[in-house]
């Protein structure tokens, strides 16, 4: 059976179409015959309909039956790609199904992680791509994969030993000396420390934090702005902690990146073999910029600016930050990764977060974002070209 597939389902979900009827259909099928592919499809549907506990349960059941699955069928002479994932949600692995949608690639996936022994036999493949994203809970599997793949007889892309350095803490140490690049140093802080600060029992300096107000805080392990807050004074921190029960947090100085018009412009850039591509640019009146979101849909002028930024990226943004982009690629040593960023008032590349698992796709509404689909296909073509080059190198 062919999988429902991430891209088709994500496209329907982003365009506001109801995909819950697939869940009922798959649940009925699983009740009659709980095969691994059906359970895997159910896990995906549950993720897209925001039922993470159910998704985790169905994925675990699928992996009890088998660890390898076919993601895409290729023709007779298609490039054969083996993708390595780890169990988790959509942010835990590179969304390679979106990147290689409709590409002439035969793609299989093998899941690796706690309780999953490395298979004795793997599907035939020309290349290995490690899709496991950076994360504290992934460090053990990445370390194990580094040992296993050291003996691979086929090329390995995104070598697992380099992925942990994308973490907020490691990335600052890795990149803060790159010319033309700025990052805020991130601290991992226990709740008790923040509680002392919020009640006036300690100061930022006394607690050993090189921070000033305002600073930003978010719970460890969360992405997409979930739990992210700007703290302007101790009282704000007290209110934040009252509503957030996490025990560990990331904190970092807030760097004001508003443009002269007081709007915030946040870019998502991906590097494919060191070549930079713009995946999106969000423009907002608020410092925490998400995409796509109401303001980009509401203001045609902002979509026009994003379209211009994509069309002229190499000559404008890419040229302005050429040294920083080159320095990042040399330091990170991954074939493919992305980052969210902005530009500082003095013209530096302000990097917020690095990841090899950023969600990029060609699933936006073409009627609203007609310029976006061709840009994403440009990225996807570069990714496929990279695979071809690695096979023949």
Strand partners, 313: none
Structure tokens at 369: 């974002």
What is the DSSP track for 83-120? EEE-SS-TTSB--HHHHTTT-SEEEEEEE-BTTBPPPS
Q: Could you report the per-residue pLDDT of 151-203, keeping only the tens digit for each?
A: 999 999 999 999 999 998 899 999 999 999 999 988 889 999 899 888 877 67
Residue 337 has pLDDT above 50, yes or no: yes
- CA angle 166/9/219 to nearest 5° reads 35
131 lies in some domain: yes
Give the three-state DSSP class for 211.
coil
pLDDT band at 2 (very low <50, low <70, confident <90, very high): very low
Tell me the pLDDT of the chain averaged across its residues.
91
Whole-angstrom Cα distance, residue 332 to residue 300? Answer: 36
Question: Does residue 3 have a pLDDT over 60?
Answer: no
* H or E stretch covering 340: strand 336-343
Q: Do residues 334 and 369 share a domain?
A: yes
Q: Which residues contact 344 (CB under 8 A, 6 or more apart)?
A: 182, 255, 257, 350
- Tell me which residue range forms the domain holding 357: 168-180+258-392
* Digit-coded pLDDT (tens) for 114-141: 999 999 899 999 999 999 999 889 999 9
What's residue 223's pLDDT?
66
What pLDDT is stored for residue 224 in this prediction? 64
Separation CA 266–CA 89 (nearest Å): 24
10 and 140 share a domain?
A: yes
> Residue 177's pLDDT is what?
92
pTM of this prediction?
0.92
Chain segment 35-94, per-residue pLDDT in tens: 999 999 999 999 988 899 999 999 999 999 999 999 998 888 899 999 999 999 888 999
Q: Tell me how far CA of residue 387 lies from CA of 98, 154, 190, 377, 380, in angstroms.
A: 15, 12, 42, 15, 11
* Residue at 1 is within a domain: no
Within this chain, do residues 14 and 129 fall inside the same structural domain, yes or no?
Answer: yes
Cβ atoms of residues 81 and 129 within 8 Å: yes
What's residue 196's pLDDT?
87
Q: Answer yes or no: do 140 and 192 share one domain.
A: no
The answer to whether residue 352 scores a pLDDT higher than 80 is yes
- Predicted local confidence at residue 1, as pLDDT: 36
Residue positions counted in the chain = 393
Q: What integer is the mean pLDDT of 294-304?
A: 92
Q: Is there a contact between 97 and 72 (Cβ–Cβ < 8 Å)?
A: yes
Domain limit, last residue, from 129, 161, 193: 161
**What's the CATH code of the domain at 238?**
3.30.1490.20
Query: H or E stretch including 80?
Result: strand 79-85
Neighbours of 167 (CB within 10 A): 21
Same domain, 175 and 149: no
Best mean pLDDT range from 66-70, 210-214, 227-231: 66-70
Q: What percent of the chain has pLDDT over 70?
A: 97
Distance of CA 53 to the CA centre of its chain: 20
| Same-domain status, 367 and 289 | yes
Q: What does the block give as tokens for 150?
A: 């050291």
H helices within 128-286, ranges in order?
139-149, 168-175, 191-198, 234-243
Q: What is the domain count for the chain?
A: 3
**Boundary-marking domain end, from 230, 253, 276:** 253
Shared domain check, 375 and 300 = yes
- Based on the domain organization, do 36 and 86 belong to the same domain? yes
Last-in-domain residue among 237, 253, 269: 253
- Strand 336-343 with 349-355, pairing: antiparallel
Q: Both tokens of residue 260? A: 């002269």
Top-confidence range, 45-54, 73-82, 286-295, 347-356: 347-356
pLDDT reported for residue 386: 97
Strands 248-253 and 186-190: antiparallel
β-bridge partners, 157: 129
Does residue 236 have a pLDDT over 70?
yes
Among 313, 321, 384, which residue's Cα sits nearest to residue 348?
Answer: 321
The alpha helices in 137-276, defined as continuous H runs, are 139-149, 168-175, 191-198, 234-243
């Amino acid at each position: 059976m062919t999988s429902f597939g991430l891209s088709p389902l994500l496209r329907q979900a982003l365009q506001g179409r109801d995909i819950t009827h697939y869940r009922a259909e798959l649940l009925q099928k699983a009740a009659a015959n709980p095969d691994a592919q059906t359970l895997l499809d159910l896990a995906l549907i549950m993720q897209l309909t925001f039922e993470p506990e159910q998704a985790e349960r169905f994925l675990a059941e699928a992996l009890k039956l088998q660890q390898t699955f076919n993601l895409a069928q290729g023709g007779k002479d298609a490039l054969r790609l083996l993708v390595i994932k780890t169990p988790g949600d959509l942010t835990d692995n590179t969304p390679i199904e979106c990147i290689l949608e409709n590409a002439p690639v035969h793609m299989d996936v093998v899941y690796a992680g706690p309780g999953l022994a490395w298979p004795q036999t793997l599907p035939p493949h020309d290349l290995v791509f490690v899709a496991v994203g950076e994360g504290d809970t992934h460090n053990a599997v990445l370390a194990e994969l580094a040992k296993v793949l050291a003996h691979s007889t086929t090329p390995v892309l995104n070598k697992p030993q380099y992925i942990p350095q994308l973490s907020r803490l490691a990335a600052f140490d890795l990149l803060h000396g790159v010319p033309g690049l700025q990052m805020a140093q991130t601290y991992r802080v226990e709740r008790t420390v923040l509680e002392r600060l919020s009640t006036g029992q300690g100061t930022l300096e006394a607690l050993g934090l090189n921070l000033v107000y305002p600073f930003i805080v978010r719970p460890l392990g969360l992405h997409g702005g979930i739990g992210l807050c700007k703290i302007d004074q101790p009282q704000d921190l007290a209110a934040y902690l009252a509503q957030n029960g996490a025990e560990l947090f990331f904190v970092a100085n807030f760097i004001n990146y508003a443009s002269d018009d007081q709007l915030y412009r946040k870019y998502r850039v991906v590097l494919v073999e060191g070549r930079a591509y713009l995946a999106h640019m969000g423009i907002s009146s608020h410092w925490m910029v998400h995409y796509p979101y109401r303001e980009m849909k509401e203001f045609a002028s902002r979509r026009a600016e994003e379209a211009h930024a994509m069309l002229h990226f190499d000559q404008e943004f890419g040229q302005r930050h050429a040294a920083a982009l080159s320095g990042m690629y040399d330091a990170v040593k991954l074939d493919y990764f992305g980052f969210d960023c902005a530009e500082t008032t003095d013209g530096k590349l302000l990097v917020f977060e690095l990841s090899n698992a950023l969600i990029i796709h060609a699933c936006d509404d073409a009627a609203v974002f007609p310029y976006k689909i061709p840009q994403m296909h440009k990225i996807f073509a570069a990714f496929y070209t990279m695979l071809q080059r690695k096979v023949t190198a």
